[in-house]
Amino acid sequence: MAISDYLKDLRSKVGHQLLHIPSVAAIVRDEKNRILLQKTSEDVWSLPAGAIELGETPAQAVIREVWEETNLIVRPRRVAGVFGGENGFHFKYKNGDAVEYVVILFECETVGGELGGRNDETFELEYFPPEKMPKLPINYPHELFLHSADKTYFEWNEKWLEELK
């Protein structure tokens, strides 16, 4: 797991304690509408993704993360969804670090580069048909991968308003 100097410093103070991490992920499709996944150093399949660094916008972060992990240059086209919470967005790394991600998921188009991992996080890259994707460690709604939607997904429950009344 590559980690920024900021997170290294924070981890030196809090150890493996659960951290709330703003992050991004990318849906990158090929010409056959297959989704690009990477097998990570944690031995799981994942979307290209990572933490937003200090001073970085989410769009800059997704461009950087995809480039670092896949050697592809992408243009974010739209926000596909915004996710977080304890239901599927907690992750514990092999080294014991616990995180709860808030993820901004971008639908991206490839505009350059040549597929191939650029860092120690990527062990394998493969495009999967949406209906044959392996289980991801982050609990994204699968319908987001079936086709490019025209709306942004986010979890919503009307009872959240009722609880305030």
CA 81 to mean position of chain CA atoms: 11
The architecture in CATH of the region 15-144+152-162 reads: Alpha-Beta Complex (3.90)
Q: How far apart are CA 125 and CA 110, in angstroms?
A: 15
Provide the 10 A C-beta neighbour count for residue 133: 18
Residue 1 in this model has a pLDDT that exceeds 80: no
Residue 118 in this model has a pLDDT that exceeds 70: no
Q: Burial code of 16-54, b = ≥16 C-beta within 10 A, e = fewer?
A: eeeeebebbbbbbbeeeebbbbbbbebeebbbbbbbbee
Query: In terms of pLDDT, which residue wins out, 160 or 32?
Result: 32
Q: Confidence band (pLDDT; 50, 70, 90) for 105? A: very high
User: Which residues, other chains included, contact 4 with Cβ-Cβ below 8 Å and sequence gap of 6+?
Assistant: 51, 53, 54
The full set of domain ranges for the chain reads 15-144+152-162
Q: Confidence band (pLDDT; 50, 70, 90) for 89? A: confident
Residues 32/28/86/2 CA torsion (nearest 10 deg) = 130
pLDDT given for residue 40 in this prediction: 86
